[in-house]
Amino acid sequence: MTRILGIETSCDETSAAVLEGSGDNVVQKSLVILSQDVHRVFGGVVPEIASRAHLTSIVPVVQRALDEAGTRLEELDAIAVTNTPGLVGALLVGVSYGKALAFSRDIPLLGVHHMEGHLFAAALEHRDAVPPFTALLISGGHTLLLDVEAWGQYRLLGATRDDAAGEAFDKVAKLLGLPYPGGRYIEQLAATGTSKRFTFARPMVRKNALRDDDDYYAFSFSGLKTAVLNAVRASTDIEADKADIARGFQDSLIDTLVEKTARAASAFGRERVVLGGGVACNRTLASAMRARLEPGGVKVFTPTPRLATDNAAMIARAAFFRFEKGERSGLDLNAYASSPIPGLVAA
Ligand code: KG4
Ligand code: ZN
């Protein structure tokens, strides 16, 4: 049995978790997530403030994760830490702390790709959320459609050409005067709106699309955001219209996500679809995905909100796979703002 401490500081959550087990049989012993609410007043994450906040919280957050797991530092087999992608200053706090812990205990260190972590989140709760599957990772910074043949073998089918799905939610929320981060406020508001009044074009979804088209699996949300902006400007009573606009926006974005995911699952004959990232908290999306795919025998897995958004449990979970393959990072491990997910296979 292996016991791994995971650390995540890539954006505005300071998180630590302890996981125990082997293979796909891994149990979460603890998970602590400290969200930095300070960014709300700025309407977005301020990198410098994020790094400083990680610095003040990392020690107590890790200590608490160990306490809740009933584990001492001496009982850990490895330290896993997100080292890419993310805000470099924020990542460096986790990376430096993780290195120091690994060095002081003389145990292995593993740098983990944040998006690979999101891929493993659903597996923490659902035994069957394991490859082969189609994955849709939708967060504030990324929108990735992947075919996952096996852990560590990721075929990148599509990504966004401009804004990420979560970013589109956040920008539209701002246009409608909702708090940051706005995804869940849009979802709440849209639930009170009607679908008939504002219909926005579905980005990059054509009826006659062919598998070889270069936008067959691609996403683009900035045009949709502009269409919403125009609707907001044209409105003579935004208070009365905003729920319907939110509904129209969310319907369009969800339709696109569902269509592209369905295309991928069908093209590769996958019977499982795994969602990950903060936008996977959206229940309207999850039900639309199920309504479309489950009649065809495809099961849809979504992590609970705590595991869908940024957390260290998913980082430790991905590290189990890498650790068992014999991978280790050196003490020269660095932080990178962006880098491709490891294990990409040709599309
Ligand atoms: O994965 P995550 O926690 O952080 C990043 O790595 O970016 O994702 C955060 C994103 C934000 O854009 C937030 O608005 C969005 O997830 N989000 C949602 C919902 N809850 C969070 N978007 C749509 N509907 C939701 N219910
Ligand atoms: Zn994330």
pLDDT at 321 over 80: yes
DSSP 226-248: HHHHHHHHH-S-HHHHHHHHHHH
What is the distance between the alpha carbons of residues 178 and 171, in angstroms, rounded to a whole number? 10
Quick check: pTM over 0.85? yes
pLDDT at residue 347 is higher than 80: no
Q: Is 68 exposed, middle or buried (0-12, 13-18, 19+ CB in 10 A)?
A: middle
DSSP 8-class letter at 160: B
Q: According to the 3-state scheme, what is the secondary structure of 11-77?
A: CCEEEEEEEEEECCEEEEEEEEEEECHHHHHHCCCCHHHHHHHHHHHHHHHHHHHHHHHCCCHHHCC
C-alpha 64/C-alpha 52 separation (Å) is 19
CA of 53 to the centre of ligand 2 (A): 18
Q: Phi/psi at 53 (nearest 5 deg)? A: -65, -40
Q: What angle do CA 27, 31, 37 make, to 5 degrees?
A: 155
- Which numbered atom of ligand 1 lies nearest the CA of 141? 7
Q: Hey, what are 253's tokens?
A: 């974005």
Q: How far is the CA of 114 from the centre of ligand 2 (A)?
A: 6
In tens, the pLDDT along 112-163 reads 999 999 999 999 999 999 999 999 999 999 999 999 999 999 999 999 999 9
Distance CA 80, CA 98 (A): 7
Please answer whether residues 256 and 204 qualify as being in contact, where contact means their C-beta atoms are separated by less than 8 angstroms.
yes
Between the CA of 257 and the centroid of ligand 1 the distance, in Å, is 15
For range 321-328, the mean pLDDT: 98
Q: Which ligand is nearest to the CA of 179?
A: 1
- pLDDT reported for residue 203: 84
Residue corresponding to tokens 């990148």: 156
C-alpha 76 – ligand 1 centre gap (Å): 31
Angle at 40 between CA 62 and CA 238, to 5 degrees: 145
Please identify, by atom number, the ligand 1 atom nearest to the C-alpha of residue 308: 1
Ligand 1 atom closest to the Cα of residue 285 is: 24
Reference 16, options 35, 32, 36, 34; nearest CA is 32
Q: How far is the CA of 71 from the centre of ligand 1 (A)?
A: 31
Which one of 113, 137, 139 would you pick to mutate in the ligand 1 pocket, going by the greatest count of ligand atoms within 8 A of its CB?
Answer: 139
198 pLDDT more than 90: yes
- Distance of alpha carbon 262 from the chain centroid: 19
Question: pLDDT per residue over 43-88, tens digit each?
Answer: 888 899 999 999 999 999 999 999 999 999 999 999 999 999 999 9
Say if residue 316's pLDDT is above 90: yes
Ligand positioned closest to the Cα atom of 166: 1
pLDDT value at residue 40:
87
Instruction: Tell me the two tokens of residue 194.
Output: 């009607």
Distance 112 CA to ligand 2 centre (A): 12
Q: What separation, in Å, do the N-terminal and C-terminal C-alpha atoms of the chain show?
A: 36
Helix orientation angle between 165-175 and 238-268, rounded to the nearest 10 degrees: 170
Distance 279 CA to ligand 1 centre (A): 4
- Ligand 1 center from residue 77 Cα (angstroms): 32
DSSP one-letter string for 277-346? SGGGG-HHHHHHHHHHHGGGT-EEE---HHHHSS-HHHHHHHHHHHHHTT--B-TT----S--PPTTEE-
Share of the chain above pLDDT 90, in %: 93
The predicted pLDDT at position 344 comes to 92
pLDDT of residue 258: 98
The residue whose CA is least distant from atom 2 of ligand 1 is 278
Cβ-in-10-Å burial (0-12, 13-18, 19+) of 161 comes to middle
Within 6 A (CB) of ligand 1 lie: 11, 139-141, 166, 169-170, 181-184, 187, 277-279, 281-282, 309-310
Which atom of ligand 1 sits closest to the CA of residue 140?
A: 7
- Band of pLDDT at residue 204, cut at 50, 70 and 90: confident
Mutate to test the pocket of ligand 1, among 45, 189, 250, 279 (most ligand atoms within 8 A of CB): 279
Residues contacting 27, CB < 8 A, separation 6+: 19, 20, 21
Percent of the chain surpassing pLDDT 70: 100
Whether residue 24 has pLDDT greater than 90: no
234-292 confidence digits (pLDDT tens) = 999 999 999 999 999 999 999 999 999 999 999 999 999 999 999 999 999 999 999 99
Of ligand 1's listed atoms, the one at least distance from the Cα of 167 is: 12
139 Cα: distance to centroid of ligand 2 (angstroms): 6
Helix, strand or coil for residue 146? strand
- Ligand closest in space to the Cα of 181: 1
Instruction: Give the CA distances from residue 217 to residues 143, 258, 318, in Å, rounded to whole numbers and listed in that order.
Output: 11, 11, 25
CA dihedral 192→194→200→204, nearest 10 degrees, is 70
Given strand 344-345, what is the order of strands in its sheet?
A: 299-301, 272-276, 133-138, 143-150, 153-159, 344-345
Ligand nearest to the CA of 170: 1
